A and B are shown apart, each in its own frame.
Chain A
Amino acid sequence: MAISALFTGGQAGIWYDPNDLSTLFQDTAGTVPVTAAGQSVALMRDKSGNGNHASQATSSKRPVLTWDSSLGRYYLNFDGVDDWLKTVDGASNSATQSLAVYGYWTIFSGWVSTFPATATVHQSPWADFGLFSLNPTNGIQARLGSTATNLYPTSLGVGSAPAYVTQYHTSDGALYINTTKWSIAGPSGSVAYPTPVPFILGANVVGSECLDLRLYGLVLLGRNMTTGERSSVYTDLTTLSSTGTASGSVSITGAASGQAKAAGQGSGSVSITGGAQGGAQVQGQASGGVSIAGAAQGGASAQGQGAGSVPISGQASGQAKASGQGAGAVTVFGAGTATVTGGPSAGLGAVAIQCRVRRLSIPARVHRLTIPCLWRAK
């Protein structure tokens, strides 16, 4: 399930994806696109379809688009001093029941921030949904109205943690760190807003307590997520995603567990190297190559016209799949499965399988087939 499916039927909520540069602009009017790292972001468009775009009119308070070379994706860098973004009024009223943040935050000293603080933090009655107050003593502090519970000891990585996903449900006060439910429950219940309020990302209502945050993605939903939805949101937020024309390459190196995906015309290559467990996928016309090397357990697939090569080498146990007209070569080294599909005029390229392969499916014409090792066909 894609994140976009959460918002079908007019479901209230918010979805920000800083890695999708088509949603970022250097002016609040949305006329000057963000095109490269180092540029400040005045407007980030909501991808949920609800129009809850976040903006910042004051130049110095804008986060900066930054490239994370280790993860191979962009994030918004909130400087922890005065950066924050704000939606129009009303965005928080119906979208505050479930939150997922793919972030990487650090704390330097003292009380730093409330995240995501809302417009009613300093108003009476207490009606805020400031989920994640961060301070070095209490770690993450879940907050609902005037009730706050410290949930996350600093020993678990506040200040030095890598990117991780946090999700919070107000129905039962459950906090999830990545996919694990935290042992301590936070406050639960409903939120009663006295007036339409915006959603403020990175600061409290008056623009102080700003958060030192790397924002890779964020989803708010106007209802609690199901277990399956929560899992899917985690997967999607940690999936490298780039869409549109002329997408660049996506790579995961090291002990990666996410997925790499490139979609659109002229997509580039996707590679996973090292102890990868995720999948690699390229969709669209003229897709590039997809490769998984090392102790990979995921799948690799390329779909669309002119798909490139799909090699899996090493201790791979996933699937390699190429479909569409003019699909390129599919190579599996190790215990994998290879599937090649195409139309009557497919003109498929070579298929090479080495060592044990559990299944081979080739329903279309193949120019060359090489099976040098043990092969057990179904």
Chain B
Amino acid sequence: MRITAACPDTLAGSANALAALVGQSEADALTYSVPNYQDADGAVYRVASFVARPTWVLQLLTAQSLPADALPRPDWDDGQIDLDAASQALAAISIGPSAAATDRIQAVIHDDPAEALAILGLTPIPVQY
């Protein structure tokens, strides 16, 4: 399944910590690296879209109930990942067909990322050339 997640700018650090925790390498700490979308009110978001197995989503939801110090570090991590920040991001995740909001990380499951962005109510931030 494809997941498109909108992270408000204020939660980017936490979301990147979580992305590194569940990712494949330290490079996944750059998942929410660019403020690239905005909502109708002009609030800025960092959006990532990726393919994941359903079991991965279940594991993520299960981890929401774990305390920060119980989150398992990946093998490649030597203590760089901020588990408290990752735990904060986990608590802020909401999965479902809802609009993006500045107080949570809204994740929409949809095969078409363009449709997911429409559900999130986001448009690309124009760049002046």
A positions within 8 Å CB-CB of B = 27, 38, 40, 57-62, 64, 79-83, 106, 108-112, 114, 121-122, 133, 143, 146, 148, 204, 206-210, 212
Q: Would you list 30 pairs from A and B whose C-beta atoms are within 8 A, ordered by A residue? A: A38-B51, A40-B50, A57-B30, A59-B25, A59-B27, A60-B19, A60-B31, A60-B48, A61-B48, A79-B49, A80-B114, A81-B47, A81-B49, A82-B49, A83-B49, A106-B114, A108-B118, A109-B114, A109-B123, A110-B124, A111-B126, A121-B129, A143-B129, A148-B129, A207-B33, A207-B36, A208-B36, A208-B125, A208-B127, A210-B36
B34 to chain A, nearest CB (A): 5
CA distance A61 to B113 in the complex (A): 13
B96 at the interface (CB under 8 A from A): no
Q: Are A208 and B34 in contact (CB under 8 A)?
A: yes
Q: Are A209 and B113 in contact (CB under 8 A)?
A: no
Give the residue name and chain of the B residue nearest to A130 (CB).
Answer: B129
Asked whether A110 and B123 contact (CB < 8 A) given A57-B25, A57-B27, A60-B19, the answer is yes
One of B31, B113, B123, B129 near A80 (C-beta < 8 A): B113
CA distance A321 to B32 in the complex (A): 56
B109 at the interface (CB under 8 A from A): no
Chain A residues near B50 (CB-CB < 8 A): 40, 59-60, 62
Give the residue name and chain of the A residue nearest to B38 (CB).
Answer: A110
B28 at the interface (CB under 8 A from A): yes
CA distance A83 to B4 in the complex (A): 12
B33 to chain A, nearest CB (A): 6
CA distance A125 to B64 in the complex (A): 48
CA distance A148 to B118 in the complex (A): 29
Interface of B is mostly: mixed
CA distance A39 to B48 in the complex (A): 17
Chain B residues near A83 (CB-CB < 8 A): 49
A235 to chain B, nearest CB (A): 32
B117 at the interface (CB under 8 A from A): yes
Chain B residues near A60 (CB-CB < 8 A): 19, 23, 28, 31, 48-50
CA distance A108 to B31 in the complex (A): 23
B122 to chain A, nearest CB (A): 10
A266 to chain B, nearest CB (A): 31
Asked whether A81 and B113 contact (CB < 8 A) given A40-B51, A64-B51, A111-B124, the answer is yes
Chain B residues near A114 (CB-CB < 8 A): 127
CA distance A367 to B113 in the complex (A): 59
Within 8 A of A (CB), among B30-56: 30-31, 33-36, 47-51
One of B28, B48, B126, B129 near A81 (C-beta < 8 A): B48
B75 to chain A, nearest CB (A): 14
Chain A residues near B24 (CB-CB < 8 A): 27, 59
Q: Are A112 and B124 in contact (CB under 8 A)?
A: yes
Give the residue name and chain of the A residue nearest to B129 (CB).
Answer: A148
Contact with A along B91-129 (1 / 0, CB 8 A): 000000000000000000000011001100001111101
Given A81-B49, A206-B34; 19 other pairs, CB 8 A cutoff: A57-B30, A58-B23, A59-B24, A60-B28, A60-B31, A61-B48, A79-B2, A80-B113, A82-B36, A82-B47, A82-B49, A83-B49, A108-B118, A146-B129, A204-B127, A208-B125, A208-B127, A212-B113, A212-B114
A103 to chain B, nearest CB (A): 17
B35 to chain A, nearest CB (A): 8
CA distance A122 to B127 in the complex (A): 10
Give the residue name and chain of the B residue nearest to A117 (CB).
Answer: B127
Counting chain B CB atoms within 10 Å of each CB, which of A106, A143, A206 scores highest? A206
Chain B residues near A122 (CB-CB < 8 A): 127
CA distance A200 to B27 in the complex (A): 17
Chain B residues near A58 (CB-CB < 8 A): 23, 27-28, 30-31, 33
Counting chain A CB atoms within 10 Å of each CB, which of B2, B35, B48, B50 scores highest? B50
3 pairs of A and B residues whose beta carbons are closest in the complex: A57-B27, A108-B114, A81-B49
Chain B residues near A133 (CB-CB < 8 A): 129
Give the residue name and chain of the A residue nearest to B124 (CB).
Answer: A110
CA distance A121 to B128 in the complex (A): 10
Asked whether A79 and B113 contact (CB < 8 A) given A59-B23, A207-B33, the answer is yes
A3 to chain B, nearest CB (A): 30
One of B19, B28, B117, B124 near A209 (C-beta < 8 A): B124
